[in-house]
Amino acid sequence: MTQSIAIIGGGIVGSTAAYYLSEFNKNNDLDITVFDHGCGQATKAAAGIISPWLSKRRNKSWYELAKDGATLLNSIADKTNMPEDIYNQCGTIITRNNLEDITELYDLAIERSKDTETIGEIYKLTPDEIKRHIPIINSNLPGLLVTGGARIKGDKYTDHLLKIAKSNGVSVINKEISINENVNVVCDRKEMQFDKIILATGAWTKNVLSNLPLDVDIRPQKGQLIELSINDINLSHEDMPVLMPEGESDFIPLGNGRLIVGASHENDKDFDLNPDADVIDELLNSATSLLPSLSAENLIRVKIGTRAYTSDFSPFFGKIPGYEKILVGSGLGSSGLTTGPLVGKILAEMAIDNLSMDIEKYRKPIENYIKLVK
């Protein structure tokens, strides 16, 4: 019997779920539709840094999800022949004001490398060695290089995976939907029934569930970053690592003479997508502090997206209490490009009741984030 599955949201979670479901559909017994309006999508606005291993967050389930998410992303890139233009393991460099902090991070990275190969090699770097990797930088700080760190272009990732899913028969409808009190999808006033619904709606998860008696712990966070042209700066090579300096914005070289600097974290702007002059100035100051030859003239565009946050900053995923046909994955915060692929794969496997992994190590109880209102 054919099972119909709706995936709401085509960001990193939804597009990965669509890709996996389409791969699982060898017997053609799944009818899969993705609905995505795309406006404000965090995935396409994101900076694109994949480097969870040096994080000092104490949330163990988050670290497991991020570590295994980074590994899964690597294998998706490999399996789908993702071009380097989309996913590039260019390495990440973190700098700190003093050597003790670098030594502490080095020890942490060495300890964590026992549990994951994706981290690659780990090297302490002097300021001169950092300059050799990133010749355009003007900094005298020591750092740490993790060769497995990567950058990903979120918009191209989702295009790549949705293209494969479509070629495997998945339909993609670029429209906004709602879910009504009958737990059906409503698109263009037409009510559609699905056996399963995967909600990959990021910051909009509370809005999409507003017709059901549920308490949803999600708030939107605005993120802005700037894209700069570095064409006129004499570059000796294009394949520079990502740079994460202490107390400054991150620097993500995109290749083709482009550099991203960001991002901001604004909790009081709701779903606003307008650029803020003061934030852009701050990002430009951050950029010029490390690359003095840059100026506002190098600014090509501002990218803005909305992240999803929970009260304890943890992501959540699973069946919605009281509405078992809806599977949800949200609250990915500022590391969703790293955790999102694994959340998408888990949701796809849950939708067809065919889990291939132990998911409990990756999550706290879903009732902490979504519960029925009595």
- List residues binding ligand FAD (CB under 6 A): 8-14, 35-39, 41-43, 45-49, 154, 176-177, 200-204, 208, 223, 225, 262-263, 305, 307, 330, 332-338, 340
Per DSSP, the residues of 260-305 read EEE---BTTSTT--S--HHHHHHHHHHHHHH-TT--GGGEEEEEEE
Nearer to ligand FAD, 307 or 345 (CB): 307
- CB-based contacts of 173: which residues, under 8 Å, 6+ apart? 33, 34, 35, 36, 187
Nearer of residues 145 and 342 to ligand FAD, judged by Cβ: 342
Q: Which residue has the tokens 């946050």?
A: 309
318 or 340: CB nearest ligand FAD = 340
CB of 342 to ligand FAD, least distance (A): 12
| CA triple 91-236-127, angle to 5 deg | 55
Position of minimal CB gap to ligand FAD: 336
Q: How far is the CB of 274 from ligand FAD (least distance, A)?
A: 14
Of 82 and 99, the one with the shorter C-beta distance to ligand FAD is: 82
Query: How big is the CA angle at 292 (ends 247 and 273), to the nearest 5 degrees?
Result: 60
Strand ranges across the sheet with 178-179: 178-179, 185-187, 190-192
Between 103 and 178, name the residue whose CB sits nearer to ligand FAD.
Answer: 178
Q: How far is the CB of 244 from ligand FAD (least distance, A)?
A: 10
CB 28 to ligand FAD: min, Å: 26
- Shortest gap between Cβ of 7 and ligand FAD (angstroms)? 10
DSSP letter, residue 201: -
- CB 329, min distance to ligand FAD, A: 7
Q: Residue 57, Cα to own-chain centre: how many angstroms? A: 17
If the CB atoms of residues 142 and 251 are measured against ligand FAD, the closer one turns out to be 251
Q: Which residue has the tokens 């302490």?
A: 124
The per-residue b/e assignment along 209-239, b for 16 or more CB within 10 angstroms, e otherwise, is beebebebbbebbbbbbbbbebeeeeeeeee
